[in-house]
Structure 1
């Protein structure tokens, strides 16, 4: 009985470790896009125009929001795969 409980705990721990890894990666991408492109690298990106707007300005105002929405859909897809992998999709 104890062995089964330990296996379940190890299974759940592996699931959450993988989930946290996904979260860290996706939030890092969002941070790099929003902070990096919108603030740190804006002067370099402002040399490029997108729809008449400077690219650094665009990332600060719109780009980071679009990237965040895309990352939400990526996270949902990754979590669906993770749920199936660990049998939590039922």
Structure 2
């Protein structure tokens, strides 16, 4: 792989990671702490939504983000012809 293609690949990879980390931060910190009062006005499964995000929702989102990252990386690797 030539250096320009390798640099473009890593730039896209890092960009994808940063975007997913922003989503995780917004869900874990934003929904669990910042928007807690607004979310607590809504109930989900018998619990206040803010409590649910703080205790379980952020973990579920993190697991989903792992699968999203794997799928996005598969596409990026195919794009740069480095897939298995």
Q: Provide the TM-score with structure 2 as the length reference.
A: 0.97
What secondary structure, in the 3-state scheme, does the structure 2 residue paired with 1:89 have? coil
Which of residues 54, 66, 77 in structure 2 aligns to 1:72? 66
User: In structure 1, what is the Cα distance between the partners aligned to 2:68 and 2:47?
Assistant: 28
- Name which one, 1 or 2, has greater alpha-carbon Rg: 1
1:1-90 correspondence to structure 2 within 5 Å:
8-90=2-84
Q: Deviations over 1:23-67 (max 9, x none)?
A: 010000000000000000011100000011000000000000000
Structure 1: state its 5+ residue gaps. 1-6
User: In structure 1, what is the Cα distance between the partners aligned to 2:34 and 2:13?
Assistant: 29
Count matched residues: 84
1:85 Cα deviation from its structure 2 partner: 0.5
Flag the structure with more relative contact order, 1 or 2, with Cα contacts below 8 A and sequence separation at least 6: 2
User: In structure 2, what is the Cα distance between the partners aligned to 1:85 and 1:44?
Assistant: 42
Q: Deviations over 1:55-83 (max 9, x none)?
A: 00000000000000111000000000001
